[in-house]
Amino acid sequence: MKKTKIIAAVLCVAVMLMGAGYAYWQDAITITNTVSTGEFNVEFVNQGGYPKSSGIYESYKKNNPGQGEGNGQYDWVKNNTYAQARVEHGAKDTKIVLTDMYPGTYAKIDMLVKNKGTIPAVFDKVTVSFTNENDPKVIAMKDTLMVSLGVTKYKANGEAYKANETDKHNKLKAEIKLKDLEKELKALLSGLRLEPNEAITFDIPEEFYEQAMLEVPGFDVNGDECITFHLPYSATETVEKATAEFTVKIDWKQHNAQ
């Protein structure tokens, strides 16, 4: 009787141990993550003829002097003999140098600013800094030299925005003093947003041609209508033998920055 009980106990233990030897199925899923960041990059572009100088022009009075230097009062002739204008390109800042100008001359300069990154950019601030800014000649030049410029915005495909398009940012500032260039550029660029591959130049927009005909010396709808630096006939000897050398730096920030 005792032996039977012992054998039964052994069998039960054996059955329990057999269950511990069975395998179980298993599976797993894996999430692979890739996180990349975009590029924030707005530059002065050195391509497509930009930056450019269209040279120096000079005016000759017609037979109706004393009526200002607007169109219809003067003949304008391109002159590469005496005065000079040049642009020294930099991706983040561009230097403009005007030398040997004299009353009645003007220079045309243009630059292309492009969002070459992958993130929308909005205008932050602009700085115009002058070489030897405390020099009396430079101070006199800043108070005498006149500037006319606009902003024309271009789509990613290179086509200019038209007057009736909501994303345009086209503006014009005519005959402002050089000393006010920083303030007026800020007003021109305020609120400007550039999507990737969009760009601006400082050309006078087409919808402002009629106004420019009246206000911008030497304006020609068939010419290069860009930034115009104009030394009027009213310039005094305080700007004789003066050189205007200044740098324009434009800062941008990402579109969602506070």
- Whether residue 152 contacts residue 163, with contact meaning beta carbons closer than 8 Å, is answered with no
DSSP state of 119: S
pLDDT number for residue 212: 83
- Whether residue 134 contacts residue 149, with contact meaning beta carbons closer than 8 Å, is answered with no
d(CA 126, CA 128): 7
* Tokens coding 127: 């700085």
**pLDDT per residue of the chain (258 residues) written in tens, 0 to 9:** 444 454 555 555 555 555 555 567 777 877 878 887 788 899 988 877 777 776 666 665 544 444 444 444 445 555 555 677 788 888 888 888 888 888 888 888 888 899 999 999 999 999 999 988 899 999 999 999 999 888 889 999 999 888 778 777 888 888 899 999 999 999 999 999 999 999 998 888 888 888 888 888 777 776 666 788 888 888 999 999 888 888 888 899 998 876
pTM attached to this predicted model: 0.78
Cβ neighbours of residue 111 closer than 8 Å, sequence gap 6 or more: 44, 50, 51, 87, 94, 201, 202, 227, 248
